[in-house]
Each structure stands twice: as C-alpha cells, then as structure tokens.
Amino acid sequence: MSDLKTFIEILDEKYGVKEINKEVSTKFEIAKIIKKYENKTLIFNNIAESDIPIVSGVCNTREKICTALNCKNLLKKTLDGMDNPKPIKKIEKLDKKEYTTKKVDLNLLPILRHYKKDGGRYITSGIVIAKDPNTGIRNASIHRMMVIDKNKVAIRIVPRDLYTYYKESEKLGKDLEVAVVIGVHPAVLFASSISVPINQDELEIANYFHQGEMKLFKCEDVDIEVPKSEIILEGKILANKRAEEGPFLDITGTYDLVRREPILKFEKMHIRKDAIYHAILPAGYEHMLLQGIPQEARIYKAVKNTLPTVKDVKLTEGGCCWLHAVISIKKRTEGDAKNVIMAALSAHPSLKHVVVTDEDIDISNLREVEYAIATRVRGDRDILIIPNVRGSSLDPMAKPDGTTTKVGIDATKPLKNG
C-alpha cells in the first residue's frame, strides 16, 4: 500500500500541487492561505516554528478521494468497503532506520492555530487507534485534539466507539492505550471517518479500499498496530482526568462549545525521516468531505430499506456536508418521498433539511435541484415541517436544549396530475 508521500506525487501529476516556499507561521497565517486555495493541494516547505513541512488539501475534492480509493462511484465504493472489510495479515516492527524516536515534545510538530477565537493549537488530521478493553477489537477514528502541554492534548470524544472503549477502561480504573497517527494514505483517513458497528475494524476497510496488501506496524510501548504514517504518537487517554477543550470552529464555520474533555498523554513519538505533517483546515472542504461523505452511505442504506429504488444521496457543500441532503429516487407511489425524508433524518440525526428529487435530476448539480423545487413543489402539499426534534450540536440555530426544526421537501413530480 502506498503512503501519503506517494499519493501526493499522484495528486501532483493528476491535479497539480502548489508549493509555498516563503516562510510562513503556524499561527493563523497557514490557515489563511489554505482557506484562500480551498480546492488546491498545498505544500508549505518553510515553517517558522518547525523543520517539518505541511501538506493540506489532500482530500478536498470528491475527485481526489475517488483517486485515493481507486474508484469512479464514491458512494458505491464506500458501501462496498463497509460490507467487505479485508483482514490485515502483515504486521511488522517499526523500521528504526525509517523513523527517529524522540521524547515527546509537540512543539516540534507544526501544529496550527487556525482561527483567532480557537482555544489553542489543534491537531486536526490525527487518527486515534485503540482496542476494546474487553474484546481487543481495534478501532480507528479521527478526533480533534487541542494542545495543552508539550506532551498532552484535550481530546474531543463523542459517544461512539472510542468513547465506549474509554468509559470501559475508566470502569476498570485503567488508562486507555492509544496510538495517534498523522500523515497517512487517504484510504486510511477516509476509512477512519466511516461509521460502522463497534465490532468492525476501520483499518480492514482501509485495506479493502486500496489495491495491494496493507501492512501494519507494532508500536513499542502500547499494544497497538498502526498503518504507515509520517508521525506516530504513543500514549494513553487518562482515566478520570479532564481539561477544558475549545472553543473550536467546527464544520459549520461556527464555534463549538467549550467542554471538559479527556486528557491524552503521549509517552513516545516516532517521526519518519523527511516527514510531512498533514493539516486539515476546520470548516474547509477537506474537513467537510471527510466528515460528510461517509454519512451519505449511512443515509443510503437506511433509505434503501424504506425504498429499494433510491438512486443516489449527496450531502451538499452549502450545507457544510452535514446539515443538508439531496436524495434521488425512482418514485413508485405517492408518499414515497416523505417516507424517504423520515428515513434520512433518522439515519443521520444531524440532518436539518432534506430534498428528495426524481431520478431525472442530477443531484450533484444544485441548479437542477433548485429547478425541481421551483417547478415540482407545492408548499401546502410537499413541505414537511418537524418542530422540536433533536438536531446537530453544531447547528447555530438550535435551541439551548439542543432541539431544532427539521424540514423535508418533496420535489418529485406527481405520478398523476392533480
């Protein structure tokens, strides 16, 4: 399996990579440049605060993600990966000739401070790999991490797999061993973004996504295996230890709350020779697509159980790839679209607005979607309004208790005139 550097070479050949050689700072300046060139892959070669260069925009278009996963249909590939995880047979020791092992000092890494109101510097592309304390099943997931000391971060953990592992460890009175990897092939990054059952290993999905056999490497001080990475951090999420995390400008371009989150203490760091650090801009296209696209497969699965003739699902960039979905169906009976709306809202509870169209509308073309709304919707009949329901914690219009109003629009043609 190729690594991040090899994939950057592919991106350069296929789409072009913009190199920035002037000295730039990790404090706001790099984030500003990434924002300016949101669709570009950028390499920053001269970082004021670090000797390690930065890459950004590795997965900031659907086309680049398709290239990484070696596919044309991203939804189909995601669904196939979820259904066909590929066990990993090759596990080796870290090559000491390839990595320099150092005492942990996060100040050596070019960790960005993105926006002025952020609580601090944030690791945004770090994949946390952990094992279930009871079963040993491995999990890989992306979490934001705010630097609070040279060897500690406050890590935002939402109630999913890693949260379950951590709470189980706390019950046992133990810290949870983890490894954090930064700078991996996008197939690993994308697989780590997918929501699958707790007994499924995301690294095996990554192994399916990429041609060839994927190797894992044993960490030295924690019982964790990791993929080929530019930077590997070994550590533990401390039991019953919390620190303030935030504010953080999240996927919607608005600030998330300050919370008391677990502390991750790093105990060893391995930096690859000639390493490059991957930085993902919060609320940038790379953030939106990596977080949002895997939810399209989740929505599709749920809708297909309701209506087998569903054709496609897209989370729109205007909706931050999180709050707005457009769904294409082959309508069979009146009421199909409303059933689809309800299924989609249940499958992805953060959804706020859903539009359902006929299959003749290209849902990747928002002009066509707007045309369907303009010419096929009668408000009193085709707009479904659901008040006072749980929504996304990232919705800036949600009530203080977390509830919001959700809207579904049936933009399909009536089967009969009337």
List, in order of start, the domains of the chain with CATH numbers.
74-273 (2.30.110.10), 287-411 (3.40.1670.10)
Residue 219 has pLDDT above 60, yes or no: yes
Tell which phi-psi region holds residue 149, choosing left (phi > 0), alpha (psi between -120 and 50) or beta: beta
Q: Over range 273-295, report the average pLDDT.
A: 96
Q: Over range 339-351, report the average pLDDT.
A: 96
Residue 21 has pLDDT above 70, yes or no: yes
Rounded CA gap, 41 and 4, in Å? Answer: 13
In the chain, the largest separation of any two C-alpha atoms, in whole Å, equals 74
Average model confidence (pLDDT) for the chain?
A: 95
Q: Over range 305-319, report the average pLDDT.
A: 96
Determine the pLDDT at residue 7. 95
Determine the pLDDT at residue 374. 98
Q: What are phi and psi of 39, to 5 degrees?
A: -95, 0
> Among 175, 250, 382, 395, which one carries the catalytic annotation?
250
pLDDT in tens, 86-110: 999 989 999 889 999 989 999 999 9
394 pLDDT tier (thresholds 50, 70, 90): confident
Determine the pLDDT at residue 417. 54
Q: Over range 227-244, report the average pLDDT.
A: 97
Contact 56, 286 (CB under 8 A): yes
Share of the chain above pLDDT 90, in %: 89
Determine the pLDDT at residue 396. 86
pLDDT in tens, 186-211: 999 999 999 888 889 999 999 999 87
Determine the pLDDT at residue 392. 87
pLDDT in tens, 247-273: 999 999 999 989 999 999 999 999 999
Determine the pLDDT at residue 188. 96
Q: Over range 274-289, report the average pLDDT.
A: 97
Determine the pLDDT at residue 210. 82
250: annotated active-site residue: yes
Determine the pLDDT at residue 418. 44
Q: Over range 57-65, report the average pLDDT.
A: 97
Token reading at 12: 């350069």
pTM of the model: 0.93
Rounded CA gap, 216 and 222, in Å? Answer: 14
